[in-house]
Amino acid sequence: MYDTSKRVELVKARAQEKACRALRRSVYRLSFLCILLTTALAGMVLSSEGMSGSAVAGLYGSILLHNDVGGYILVGVVAFAAAVVITVLCIRYRESLKENKNSSKEVDSP
């Protein structure tokens, strides 16, 4: 049987392991979401009127000079906004993990 200090140490190690596992799961979920969003946006671009896969490859910046570019601009803005939101959430999550780790170290110190 373990003494109290050893049990506390084991519980803290297990809690850290569970936190790492949860972090890994959230990274996997966000990666899947990004892949899904990218696939959906690519599908929207390819299925737009009069476009085929070979036509999309030849598009240049001059596309902004055409009349019917609202869809492209919308897709770009939505993709950028989603990327910014995901990035901010990940940064906040990382900072909260660092704060929790620092506070647990301060509690452990005599």
List pLDDT tens digits, range 53-91: 455 555 555 555 566 667 777 788 888 989 999 999 999
Q: Is residue 77 part of a domain?
A: yes
Asked if residues 69 and 16 have their Cβ atoms less than 8 Å apart, the reply is no
Q: Check whether 107 has a pLDDT greater than 70.
A: no
What's the pLDDT at 59? 55
Task: Convert the pLDDT of each residue in 10-61 to its tens digit.
Answer: 999 999 999 889 988 988 998 898 888 888 877 777 776 555 545 555 555 5
Asked if residues 40 and 13 have their Cβ atoms less than 8 Å apart, the reply is no
* Residue from 38, 60, 56, 57 nearest 46 by CA: 56
Q: Is residue 107 part of a domain?
A: yes
Q: Is residue 8 part of a domain?
A: no
Q: Is residue 22 part of a domain?
A: no
Q: Against a cut of 0.85, is the pTM above it?
A: no
* Residue from 27, 38, 28, 21 nearest 83 by CA: 38
Q: Is residue 23 part of a domain?
A: no
Number of domains present in the structure of the chain: 1
Domain span at residue 87 reads 37-110
